[in-house]
């Protein structure tokens, strides 16, 4: 395959760069560059700018307000956004639920929910993981029982990312007990403002708050909120996770983080010499640099395949594994570069990098701790290895 961009793709790349130069607010890019926490208003502001341009929903068809970009165009856009330190697009409505509704939703569900995702009226979160069902998602126990024109939901979800900002949640629920565990699961949409729902914050190791527990107690949801047929939720879940895992690979974020690490290593001195000139550190830096270059090529090769098939395949598991390992390695090298300065960061450093810890130091420490989770969520890397092995060996 030819890994060079076509003239049309090069023109698109130039168009994206020009747009980011004029329309990406400086204060937002400064926050991303400093790895500071983004508020809900920050994220919604960037979404609104992209939506006004018509560039918010990369994969959606144009008749639903999307870009209908090719896989290569999506890659170019994400790479340029990372290079410009643009905020990450919140994926739950746009990159996860949107594709599911377009493939499995009714015309009524598409007409009702898709416009509300685009204009920001709805902020969705994901109700997949449970205390006893994380990577082993088929073990989930949250139950939905049909009662006339409603379902009544009871159970608990956990690790609900950014749920504190959401007004809706899409959930996997158990609606059947016969056959394999995967056979009795359904995919349902829930309004978080109705009675019978409680959300509790979970404080993470770096001191931040971005995940939650969600409890459902006799929560009554209209049966029309079911997506697809009853008990076909596992098929929908697998389709959604393919999109989530390709997003988790985060090639652009690793490129951005590695450039920042190289810059940091030129500023830090040990024994009168720059850290980047240390043979040991330089070797570690070169190793992750080589791995990242290999992943970039693999990512382009898979994009080419996805462009032919119209959707990402199970190869996304490989990207998920390698992408998360590379990002964690870069975080670890940054921590090693900072030495003792990486340890005593205050939790308030997450909101503006407050004194007394130098701003970049605090942010690097927080990223190191926060990114311990990326090799677990979206299906742990161990589970991804099982998926790849099963795909190769049957």
244 is catalytic: yes
Q: Report the alpha-carbon distance of residue 91 to residue 114 in Å, rounded.
A: 14
Q: What angle do CA 94, 129, 347 make, to 5 degrees?
A: 80
Q: Are 270 and 279 in contact (CB under 8 A)?
A: no
User: Please, what sign has the CA dihedral across residues 8, 12, 13, 15?
Assistant: positive
The dihedrals phi and psi of 39, each to the nearest 5 degrees, come to: -80, 170
Q: Report the alpha-carbon distance of residue 42 to residue 92 in Å, rounded.
A: 16
Q: Report the alpha-carbon distance of residue 335 to residue 344 in Å, rounded.
A: 12
Question: Tokens 């920001």 belong to which residue?
Answer: 120
Q: Three-class SS string for the chain?
A: CCCCCCHHHHHHHHHHHHHHHHHCCHHHHHHHHCCCCCCHHHHHHHHHHHHHHCCCCCCCCHHHCCCCCCHHHHHHHHHHHHHCCCCCCCHHHHHHHHHHHHHHCCHHHHHHHHHHHHCCCCCEEEECCECCECCCHHHCCCEEEEECCEEEEEEEECCCCCHHHCCEEEEEEECCCCCCHHHHEEEEEEECCCCCEEEEEEECCCCCEEEEEEEEEEEEEEHHHEECCCCCHHHHHHHHHHHHHHHHCCHHHHHHHHHHHHHHHHHCEECCEEHHHCHHHHHHHHHHHHHHHHHHHHHHHHHHHHHHHCCCCCCHHHHHHHHHHHHHHHHHHHHHHHHHHHCCCCHHHHCCCCCCCCHHHHHHHHHHHHHHHCCCCCCCHHHHHHHHHHHHHC
Catalytic residue, chosen from 79, 130, 210, 244, is 244
Q: Which residues are catalytic?
A: 244
């Amino acid at each position: 395959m030819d890994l060079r961009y076509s003239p049309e793709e090069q023109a698109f790349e130039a168009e994206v760069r020009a747009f980011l130069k004029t329309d990406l607010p400086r204060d937002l890019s400064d926050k991303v560059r400093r790895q500071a926490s983004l508020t809900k208003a920050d994220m919604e502001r960037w979404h609104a700018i992209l939506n006004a341009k018509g560039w918010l929903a990369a994969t959606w068809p144009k008749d639903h307000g999307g870009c209908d970009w090719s896989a290569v165009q999506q890659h170019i856009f994400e790479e340029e956004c990372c290079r410009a330190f643009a905020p990450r697009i919140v994926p739950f409505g746009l990159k996860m639920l949107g594709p599911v509704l377009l493939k499995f939703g009714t015309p009524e569900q598409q007409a009702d929910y898709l416009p509300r995702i685009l204009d920001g009226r709805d902020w969705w979160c994901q109700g997949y993981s449970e205390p006893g069902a994380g990577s082993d998602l088929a073990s989930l126990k949250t139950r939905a029982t049909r009662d006339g024109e409603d379902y009544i939901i009871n159970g608990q979800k956990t690790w609900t990312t950014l749920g504190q900002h959401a007004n809706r949640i899409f959930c996997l629920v158990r609606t059947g007990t016969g056959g394999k565990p995967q056979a009795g699961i359904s995919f349902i949409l829930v309004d978080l403002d109705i009675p019978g729902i409680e959300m509790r914050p979970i404080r993470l190791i770096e001191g931040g708050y971005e995940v939650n527990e969600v409890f459902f107690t006799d929560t009554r949801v209209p049966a029309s909120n079911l997506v697809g047929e009853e008990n076909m939720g596992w098929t929908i879940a697998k389709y959604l996770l393919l999109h989530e895992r390709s997003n988790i690979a985060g090639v652009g974020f690793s490129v951005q983080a590695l450039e920042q690490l190289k810059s940091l290593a030129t500023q830090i001195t040990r024994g009168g010499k720059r850290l980047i000139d240390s043979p040991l550190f330089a070797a570690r830096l070169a190793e992750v640099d080589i791995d990242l270059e290999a992943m970039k090529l693999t990512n382009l090769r898979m994009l080419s395949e996805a462009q032919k098939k119209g959707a990402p395949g199970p190869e996304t598991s490989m990207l998920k594994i390698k992408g998360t390992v590379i990002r964690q390695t870069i975080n670890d090298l940054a921590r090693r570069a900072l030495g003792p300065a990486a340890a005593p960061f205050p939790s308030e450093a997450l909101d503006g990098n407050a004194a007394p810890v130098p701003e970049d130091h605090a942010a690097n420490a927080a990223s190191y701790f926060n990114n311990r989770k990326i090799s677990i969520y979206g299906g742990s890397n161990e589970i991804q290895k099982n998926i790849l092995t099963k795909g190769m060996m049957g």
